[in-house]
Structure formats: C-alpha cells, structure tokens
C-alpha cells in the first residue's frame, strides 16, 4: 500500500527551506519615534501642546521583551496604546525639569514653558499617547492624551547630518540586550575633540569602578558624541560667562550655582538622536564644580572639576535608578512638601509605617528603626561649611579654595561618622530628600549623601534592578 504524502511533504525542498527561514526571521527592528511637546503651567495648573513628531535616524535600541515599564520609578509615566484595541504597546516612567521647577517658589507666582520629549519604538498603526503624573498620594493619574498616526504626512522624516563622529567607547553586544549609554559632550570645540574622548573614557572608567556598575560592566554599551562648539566651555551666568554651546548646558539652574542643566530640549535631542541610547550623560567642558541629574532624562558633569568623578557617579544615580538626594543641608531651590507621603524614590522613606520599611529585608539584624545617629553635630558642622562656601562664591574666590573646603569637609565628615555605632548598618537614618526631619535614608553614608565613592546597599540594589530591566527577558 502506498502511503499518501501530506500537502506539506509534497512541496519542493527549496520551498520548505525558504518557508522555514521566513518563520525563523526576526521581526525587523522599528525606527525610533519621538514626540516633542510643550509643558506649560505653574504650581497649580499644567497645560500640554504638541510641538512635532520626529522619526529619528536610528533603529530602536531597547529590549523588545521589556516594552512595559514595571519599575514604578519617576514622577511622570507615559503609555503608547494601540488606538484600535487600547492595548499598551510601550510605557516608561520619567521625571522632568518642569517637575522640579513646579516645586520652586517661582512656580507660585509665574508661568513657564518647557520643551519635553517622549521616545518609543515607531508604531505601524495609529496609537494614543497617554501621559500620567503622580497625585498628592503618589498614585499615577492621567493628565494628557493625544493621538498619533504613523502615516501622518507631517511627521518629520527629514535626513539631517550627524553633528560629530560617533565614538564606540565600549561595545558589549547587541543593543537589544544591553544598556546603551551616550556620553554627550558640550562646549568642546573642533580642536578639543580628542580632549572630549579622553574625558569620556576617563569618566566611564570611574563609573565602572563603583559597585554594582563594576560587576555589571558587560551589560553596557557606551557611546561618545560631541558636537563641535564655536567657543570652548558652557554658560555660567553667576560668573558672567555665556556660551552658545551646541547642547545648551548651563550652570545656575533654578538659581542654584552648582546645578547644571540644559533647557534647550530641541538642541539636546537633535544631537543625541545620532546615537543608540537609553541614558545620556552630558559632559560639559568646564572646570567649575557642577552637575545635575533627572530620572530618565539626562545627567550632567563638569569634566575638569576636581570632583568630577563623584559628581558623574552621583548624578548618574539620579538619572539611571531614580535615586533621591539623601543630603539635607546643601542649598536647593525646592520648597518642602505640604504633606509627607512615601517617596517613590527607592532610597528614601517617610517612615510612615516603621514595621513595613520599604527596604526592611536589607536591614542589619539588631538595628533600631529609626536608627540613632548624632545628627545634631553633623548638621551644625555642615551648616557652618555651607556658610563658608557661600562666602567663597560671593567673594568670587578661586576654584582651588572651594576644592580645599570640599576636601576638608569630606575628611571631617569621615571622622564624625567613624564614631557612630551603626555606621555600617542598614537601617533608617533621619535626614534625606533635602529635609532634616521626616525623611530617612538607608545607611549613614552613601554617594547620594556625601562625596564618598560608594553606593549604600539599598542604592546598589536599585541600580541592579534597572540593569536587569533593560538587559533581561
């Protein structure tokens, strides 16, 4: 008896081979789409308006198995939803300059507008963009929605020229399973491109010398890009220095002389789009102490400051893992909250329920909660140091004198902490989030608290979780 062949078996072998290859072929990586919008308002009202939609030149660099953000980080959160089914295709949490500005005194009596961007894999069908913000209880609520059709003729598909050579500083593997970090230079002239590359390589080595980045180095791709500036350096208004730098980095954000940001979102995005990135560190060609960091936006550092190593890692902690500042005596522009709620940042707590401390699994056995320490002595010394620092700035003393003060401060602080009973314990130490009372940090010292060069146990875990999110299926 002759056995009847199935319809598949009767196909020519080359057809079967072609079909097998087609089934095995990976889905093409989508391009990167960017929605630019204006964020306007004051302390009590927010308005949003679409600026433009851009199809960036490079493919999406993210992990295709991690399209939905479950980290619960950021003051804001956005979703890309399929317009036909309302299914969430992509989401990310983030923070913004506006989100910081609205906590300043200026926001009580003035309106301001900030340019912001949302980046996501380019969709193939119409989508709805849903923007959310944490309410007074830190619960996300929808504050703006807009629709987007990828076939819209007004999406910017223009092909612009890269502003500089893309430098592969470290290539560990496919962007889909690695964290892509862009080191974006600002204030470097065409003649200073080799200086930028040296600065970038030096600073990334510092980051990878600190745990847990040290142990997870193989999970990162690192790129360098520095658009040529017409003049060396970046703006510092308090010192009478103004520069038309390509990315727009400037000191004195919100009137804080060491706080460095760029408010020129268009310039920043126009340069950054020529590199695969999930995180950006803006390296400013400057010697004066300064930097800044905003979660899932960017961080900044003055490359030639004596404290650049510390600032680079500290500010990257803000951007990368949403870590809170743990110090409470330095000058900041932010006003205290009207009501204390549990912070979303992983390394700060209002300790509203001591029995359910958010990092209770890491608490050192036998450590009391809250954890006693000589906060009074520390605060007195630190306030005195801040007053000396203010005088040095007011008198426009040389940067070397400020560096000397910082070195003295670090040494004195180390002596104070050496006497503490719980100096190495994980607990809940009062003083964090710019507040001396009511907020607590996990350990006595950490790079998010002082100019030490190590993360505490809670911050290390927070960083590791973000690395896992971007690199694992």
pLDDT per position as a tens digit, 285-305: 999 999 999 999 999 999 999
Please indicate, yes or no, whether residues 115 and 260 belong to a single structural domain of this protein.
Answer: no
Residue 13 has pLDDT above 80, yes or no: no
Contact status, residue 147 vs residue 245, Cβ threshold 8 Å: no
Long-range CB contact pairs, 151-156, < 8 A, 24+ = 152/53, 154/52, 154/53, 155/33, 155/53, 155/54, 155/55, 156/52, 156/53, 156/54, 156/55
CATH number at residue 131: 2.60.40.3250
198-209 pLDDT, tens digit per residue, is 999 999 999 999
Looking at residue 20, what is its pLDDT? 40
445, two tokens: 């010292």
Domain assignment present for residue 334? The answer is: no
Please indicate, yes or no, whether residues 451 and 313 belong to a single structural domain of this protein.
Answer: no
Please indicate, yes or no, whether residues 310 and 186 belong to a single structural domain of this protein.
Answer: yes
Please indicate, yes or no, whether residues 183 and 289 belong to a single structural domain of this protein.
Answer: yes
Domain assignment present for residue 243? The answer is: yes
The neighbouring-strand residues paired with 220 are 179
Please indicate, yes or no, whether residues 211 and 281 belong to a single structural domain of this protein.
Answer: yes
Looking at residue 199, what is its pLDDT? 98
Lowest mean pLDDT among 9-18, 212-221, 222-231, 352-361: 9-18
Lowest mean pLDDT among 61-70, 164-173, 230-239, 386-395: 386-395
Contact status, residue 100 vs residue 33, Cβ threshold 8 Å: no
Please indicate, yes or no, whether residues 308 and 358 belong to a single structural domain of this protein.
Answer: no
How large is the C-alpha radius of gyration of the chain?
24
* Average pLDDT over every residue of 181-191: 98
Domain carrying residue 292:
167-321
Looking at residue 2, what is its pLDDT? 35
Residue 348 has pLDDT above 60, yes or no: yes
Domain end among 118, 148, 178? 148
Percent of the chain topping pLDDT 70 = 93
Backbone angles phi, psi at 375, to 5 degrees: -65, -35
Please indicate, yes or no, whether residues 315 and 380 belong to a single structural domain of this protein.
Answer: no
In 372-439, which residue ranges form alpha helices assigned H by DSSP?
375-394, 399-418
79-103 pLDDT, tens digit per residue, is 999 999 999 999 999 999 999 999 9
447-472 pLDDT, tens digit per residue, is 999 999 999 999 999 999 999 999 99
Cis before residue 212, ω within 30 degrees of 0?
A: yes
Please indicate, yes or no, whether residues 171 and 301 belong to a single structural domain of this protein.
Answer: yes
What is the pTM assigned to this prediction? 0.91
Domain end among 115, 148, 181? 148
Closest by Cα among 364, 360, 182, 370 to 276: 182
Domain assignment present for residue 326? The answer is: no
* Average pLDDT over every residue of 214-242: 97
Please indicate, yes or no, whether residues 369 and 441 belong to a single structural domain of this protein.
Answer: yes
| Beta-strand runs (E) in 249-341 | 249-250, 261-262, 279-284, 291-294, 298-302
Residue 1 has pLDDT above 60, yes or no: no
* Average pLDDT over every residue of 158-169: 96
Q: Please state, rounded to an integer, the average pLDDT across all residues of the chain.
A: 92
Looking at residue 332, what is its pLDDT? 67
Closest by Cα among 93, 208, 89 to 469: 93
Domain assignment present for residue 116? The answer is: yes
Residue 6 has pLDDT above 50, yes or no: no
- 294 SS3 class: strand
* Average pLDDT over every residue of 178-194: 98
Contact status, residue 65 vs residue 160, Cβ threshold 8 Å: no
- pLDDT band for 7, please (50, 70, 90 cuts): very low
Counting the structural domains of the chain, the total is 3
Domain end among 102, 121, 148? 148
- pLDDT band for 324, please (50, 70, 90 cuts): very high
Residue 22 has pLDDT above 50, yes or no: no
CATH number at residue 194: 3.40.390.10
* Average pLDDT over every residue of 359-374: 97
Please indicate, yes or no, whether residues 86 and 176 belong to a single structural domain of this protein.
Answer: no
* H or E stretch covering 457: helix 457-471
Looking at residue 338, what is its pLDDT? 67
Looking at residue 386, what is its pLDDT? 85
Domain assignment present for residue 448? The answer is: yes
Please indicate, yes or no, whether residues 99 and 205 belong to a single structural domain of this protein.
Answer: no
Looking at residue 335, what is its pLDDT? 62
């Amino acid at each position: 008896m002759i056995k009847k062949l199935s319809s598949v078996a009767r196909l020519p072998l080359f057809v079967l081979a072609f079909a097998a290859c087609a089934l095995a072929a990976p889905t093409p990586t989508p391009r990167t789409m960017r929605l630019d919008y204006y964020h306007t308002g004051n302390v009590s009202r927010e308005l949003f308006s679409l600026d433009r939609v851009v199809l960036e030149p490079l493919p999406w660099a993210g992990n295709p198995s991690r399209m939905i953000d479950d980290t619960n980080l950021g003051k804001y959160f956005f979703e890309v939803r399929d317009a036909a089914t309302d299914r969430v295709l992509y989401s990310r949490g983030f923070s913004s300059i506006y989100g910081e500005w609205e906590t300043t005194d200026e926001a009580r009596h003035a309106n301001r507008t900030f340019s912001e961007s949302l980046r996501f894999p380019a969709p193939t069908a119409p989508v709805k963009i849903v923007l959310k913000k944490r309410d007074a209880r830190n619960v996300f609520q929808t504050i703006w929605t807009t629709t987007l059709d990828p076939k819209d003729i007004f999406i910017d598909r223009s092909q612009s020229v890269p502003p500089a050579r893309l430098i592969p500083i470290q290539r560990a593997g496919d962007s889909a399973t690695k964290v892509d970090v862009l080191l974006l230079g600002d204030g470097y002239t065409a003649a200073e491109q080799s200086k930028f590359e040296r600065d970038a390589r030096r600073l990334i080595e510092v980051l990878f010398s600190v745990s847990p980045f040290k142990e997870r180095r193989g999970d990162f791709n690192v790129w360098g890009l520095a658009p040529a500036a017409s003049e060396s350096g970046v703006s510092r208004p308090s010192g009478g220095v103004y520069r038309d730098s390509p990315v727009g980095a400037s000191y004195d954000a919100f009137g804080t002389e060491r706080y460095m940001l760029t408010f020129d979102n268009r310039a920043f995005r126009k340069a950054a789009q020529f590199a695969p990135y999930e995180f950006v560190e803006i390296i400013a060609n400057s010697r004066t102490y300064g930097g800044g960091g905003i979660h899932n936006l960017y961080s900044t550092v003055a490359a030639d400051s004596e404290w650049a190593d510390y600032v680079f890692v500290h500010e990257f902690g803000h951007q990368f893992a949403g870590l809170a500042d743990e110090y409470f005596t330095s000058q900041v522009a932010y006003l205290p909250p009207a009501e204390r709620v549990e912070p979303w940042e992983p390394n700060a707590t209002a300790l509203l329920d001591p029995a359910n401390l958010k990092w209770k699994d890491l608490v050192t056995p036998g450590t009391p909660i809250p954890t006693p320490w000589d906060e009074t002595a520390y605060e007195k010394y630190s306030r005195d140091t801040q007053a000396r620092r203010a005088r040095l700035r007011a008198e426009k003393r040389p940067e070397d004198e400020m560096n000397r003060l910082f070195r003295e401060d670090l040494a004195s602080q180390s002596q104070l902490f050496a006497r503490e009973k719980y100096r190495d314990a994980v607990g809940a130490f009062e003083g964090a989030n710019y507040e001396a009372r009511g907020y607590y940090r996990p350990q006595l010292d950490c790079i998010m608290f002082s100019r030490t060069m190590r993360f505490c146990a809670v911050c290390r875990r927070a960083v590791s979780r973000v690395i896992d999110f971007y690199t694992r299926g």
